[in-house]
Each structure stands twice: as structure tokens, then as C-alpha cells.
């Protein structure tokens, strides 16, 4: 059984790599496009307006470590931070990021400092605007509240693993009249976000944020392969069910 699972896993890895290479090395990449998500379009507009008006952005990266099942959402949060820094690091009011995980905070600080040195001429000794706001669920939220309700803030972005406590940050953002977008891999967090947030990404839409924020073909191709694999699995399920009905399996 274990060998079968391992073989299936290797098959999917090889299939993904071959599909990605075929799409990238052929003219298909020039006309294959991912579906635009209106929430991300509105986010890009809000980021632009924030920079234009000298307002700040708060990016909350969630509370999950990288070494568990929710680590993928944390990595998407780091990648999203890098895309936003690429557009706003030179703003009069650079973005502020908070996290409830030590390793995610370190990665975010490194990302911020790299962009700062490259684009804004920060020295390596200057403190970045990335903070570990708390090591537990509620202390993380409590520590992020001041950044969430800052009077100079105009946009709040929550990307990562956040549960129902996400509502506290979104409520603070709503009270201040700020734009908010939330994307979490937690079902309770998604339900609360749908009520409180201006824009909410549901399900696997969280993984499309980096590709939606820029025009990188690699990101777009990864999403296209992901969608293709999903349809392959759906067709395989229906095929197996049909073969069982007619008695072949």
C-alpha cells in the first residue's frame, strides 16, 4: 500500500514537472491566461491609492509554522508580502507586517530587508517593519491590533493561517474605515472573513494571489497545471464510478 502511494506521488510530481516544462517551452504560454479575480484587482487599486495618498498597509501573515500542514499558506503570505513590497517599499509610509510565528517572522524580515537594500537603500542594521506580535493565537491578534487600527492605515491584507480570531482584526479595520482583504486556509477563518472583510478569497484561491499580483509566467503556469490536475482527478473519479456501476471494477 505504501509503495502504491509513493508511486502515485512520484507520478504526480513527474507529471507536474513535465506539464510545466511543456507549457513554458512552447508558445502555449503566450495565450494561456489565468482567470482574473476581482478581489485581487480591487486590492491592487487599494495598494495604488494607499501609495498615492501616503497611507500605510498592514499585512498579517498568520500564525502557522512552516513545518506543518498549514505551512503552504504561510509561504503564500511571504510571497504576497514580497509582491506588495515590490510596489510600495518606496512609499512615504512603508508597509507593516505582523506574524504569530517565529520562522515566518524571520523570513518576512529578510524579505523586507532585501527589498529595502535593493530599492530604498536601507542598511542591513536598520530595523524592518516586520514584527512577531505574539506567540499564541490571541496574543498574536492582540499584538497586531495597534497596527490594524493605525490612523495612517488605509489597507489591511491578511494572508496565511488564521482562524475565527481574524474577526477581531477585521472589526478593527472596519471601525477605522479601511479596505481589507483576507485569505486563509482555515474554514472558520473564511466564514468569519466573509462577514467582516471587504474582499474574501475562498478555498484554494489563496494560492493564486502571487500570480494575480504580477505577470510572472511561472506563477501563471503553476496555476494552470494545478487546474489541469484538478480536472484530471475529477474525470478519474467519474470514470472509476462508471466502471464500478457497469461491473468492470
Q: How many helices (DSSP H) and strands (DSSP E) are in the chain? A: 9, 6
pLDDT value at residue 1: 47
- Tally Cβ neighbours within 10 Å of residue 164: 15
More confident residue, 221 or 237: 237
Q: Are residues 101 and 51 in the same domain?
A: yes
Q: Are residues 141 and 227 in the same domain?
A: no
pLDDT value at residue 24: 61
Report phi then psi at 246, rounded to 5. Answer: -85, 0
Q: Record the pTM.
A: 0.77
pLDDT, mean of residues 58-62: 91
Please report whether residue 210 resides in a domain.
no
CB of 185 within 8 A of CB of 74? no
We report the CATH number of the domain holding residue 169 as 3.40.50
pLDDT at 182 exceeding the cut of 90:
yes
- Alpha carbons within 13 angstroms on the beta-carbon side of residue 66 total 11
Please report whether residue 123 resides in a domain.
yes
pLDDT value at residue 60: 92
Total domains present in the chain: 2
**Could you give the CA distance from residue 117 to residue 109 in angstroms, rounded to a whole number?**
12
Residue 29: band (very low, low, confident or very high) from pLDDT cuts 50, 70, 90: low
Q: Are residues 19 and 44 in the same domain?
A: no
Mean of per-residue pLDDT scores for the chain: 81
Please report whether residue 234 resides in a domain.
yes
More confident residue, 249 or 40: 40
User: Helix 187-196 and helix 166-175: axis angle, to 10°?
Assistant: 10
pLDDT value at residue 41: 87
More confident residue, 118 or 167: 167
**Range from 12-16, 93-97, 121-125 carrying the lowest mean pLDDT:** 121-125
pLDDT at 2 exceeding the cut of 60:
no
Q: Are residues 185 and 223 in the same domain?
A: no
pLDDT in tens, 120-170: 666 555 567 888 988 888 888 888 888 877 778 888 999 998 888 888 889
Secondary structure letter of residue 136 according to DSSP = S
pLDDT, mean of residues 186-198: 91
Percent of the chain with pLDDT over 70: 81
pLDDT value at residue 153: 84
Q: Which residue from 243, 225, 212 is spatially nearest to 84, judged by alpha carbons?
A: 212
pLDDT, mean of residues 242-247: 82
Q: Are residues 67 and 120 in the same domain?
A: yes
Length of the chain: 249
pLDDT value at residue 183: 92
Q: How far apart are the first and last CA of the chain?
A: 18
Domain that holds residue 10: 1-30+215-249
pLDDT in tens, 67-85: 888 888 888 999 899 888 8
pLDDT, mean of residues 98-125: 79
pLDDT in tens, 205-221: 888 888 888 766 666 66
Please report whether residue 189 resides in a domain.
yes
Please report whether residue 206 resides in a domain.
no
Q: Are residues 45 and 126 in the same domain?
A: yes
Amino acid at each position: 500500500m505504501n509503495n502504491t502511494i509513493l508511486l502515485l506521488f512520484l507520478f504526480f510530481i513527474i507529471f507536474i514537472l513535465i506539464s510545466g516544462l511543456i507549457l513554458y517551452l512552447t508558445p502555449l504560454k503566450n495565450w494561456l491566461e489565468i482567470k482574473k479575480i476581482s478581489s485581487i484587482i480591487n486590492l491592487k487599486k487599494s495598494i495604488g491609492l494607499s501609495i498615492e495618498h501616503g497611507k500605510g498597509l498592514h499585512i498579517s501573515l498568520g500564525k502557522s509554522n512552516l513545518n506543518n500542514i498549514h505551512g503552504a499558506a504561510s509561504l503564500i503570505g511571504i510571497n504576497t508580502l514580497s509582491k506588495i513590497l515590490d510596489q510600495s517599499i518606496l512609499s512615504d509610509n512603508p508597509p507593516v507586517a505582523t506574524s504569530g510565528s517565529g520562522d515566518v517572522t524571520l523570513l518576512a524580515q529578510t524579505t523586507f530587508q532585501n527589498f529595502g537594500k535593493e530599492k530604498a537603500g536601507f542598511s542591513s542594521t536598520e530595523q524592518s517593519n516586520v514584527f512577531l506580535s505574539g506567540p499564541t493565537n490571541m496574543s498574536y491578534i492582540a499584538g497586531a491590533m495597534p497596527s490594524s487600527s493605525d490612523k495612517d492605515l488605509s489597507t489591511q491584507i491578511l494572508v496565511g493561517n488564521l482562524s475565527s480570531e481574524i474577526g477581531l482584526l477585521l472589526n478593527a479595520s472596519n471601525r477605522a474605515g479601511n479596505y481589507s482583504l483576507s485569505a486563509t486556509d482555515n474554514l472558520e477563518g473564511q466564514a468569519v472573513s466573509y462577514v467582516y472583510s471587504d474582499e474574501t478569497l475562498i478555498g484554494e484561491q489563496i494560492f493564486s494571489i502571487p500570480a494575480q499580483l504580477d505577470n510572472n509566467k511561472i506563477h501563471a503556469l503553476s496555476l494552470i497545471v494545478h487546474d489541469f490536475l484538478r480536472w484530471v482527478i475529477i474525470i478519474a473519479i467519474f470514470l472509476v464510478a462508471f466502471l464500478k456501476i457497469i461491473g468492470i471494477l
